[in-house]
Amino acid sequence: MSVELDKKQIRKRAKEILKTGIPKQEAYEQLAEEFQNRAATANVIRRLPSALALKKYGIWNHVLLGLLILTASILLLVNPSFGTALWYGLLIIAVARKATRFYYWVTIMSALGVIGIIAAVLMNEATTEGWIRIGFFLALVIPSCILPIWLMNKLTPAPEEEREYYENENGEQRSWMKPVFKE
């Protein structure tokens, strides 16, 4: 069986298990035993939010989703373009699916928005209406810059590693690093 096919099966099964409210550590141990692939299982479990994390921080994910939708809507109303629709569309889908590995891209797009605002200020758009637009857009993009990084660390924190010792079939003492998932 190919590794990629194995990861898809592990991901599908892990989502089912985590939806039931089982902690990530128990899900990891169950899936590692079921699929006999500890590294792939740890990588899949690491990137999925637990039910407890979704309950605790899910509202912030919805806030980020709302900010993205509002920002994309405003940008498309002001200056419709295929690139804006494509990029923000993909980011909205990633945030809606809670695919935290793509949250860095949300931060990058928001940072580009901040750079664009700085450029607008430097180009001396000094009208009252211009400053109101700049202030409103800053109020949208600054939280969109910070929130994804914070959410990534809360929804899918990196596991700690613990050294575990065992004897192999030759009776030799061996060790491996076992991931420990914290809730």
Within 10 angstroms of residue 138's Cβ, the number of other Cβ atoms is 15
* Same domain? 139 vs 168: no
* Same domain? 145 vs 161: no
Question: Is 100 in contact with 77 (CB distance < 8 Å)?
Answer: no
Instruction: Copy the structure tokens of residue 138.
Output: 């800053």
**How many domains, in total, are found in the chain?**
2
Per-residue pLDDT tens digits for 18-76: 999 999 999 999 998 888 888 889 889 999 999 999 999 999 999 999 999 999 998 89
Question: Is 15 in contact with 28 (CB distance < 8 Å)?
Answer: no
* Same domain? 105 vs 138: yes
* Same domain? 68 vs 147: yes
* Same domain? 128 vs 107: yes
pTM above 0.85? no
Question: Is 181 in contact with 161 (CB distance < 8 Å)?
Answer: no
* Domain span at 65: 57-155
* Same domain? 81 vs 133: yes
* Same domain? 18 vs 64: no
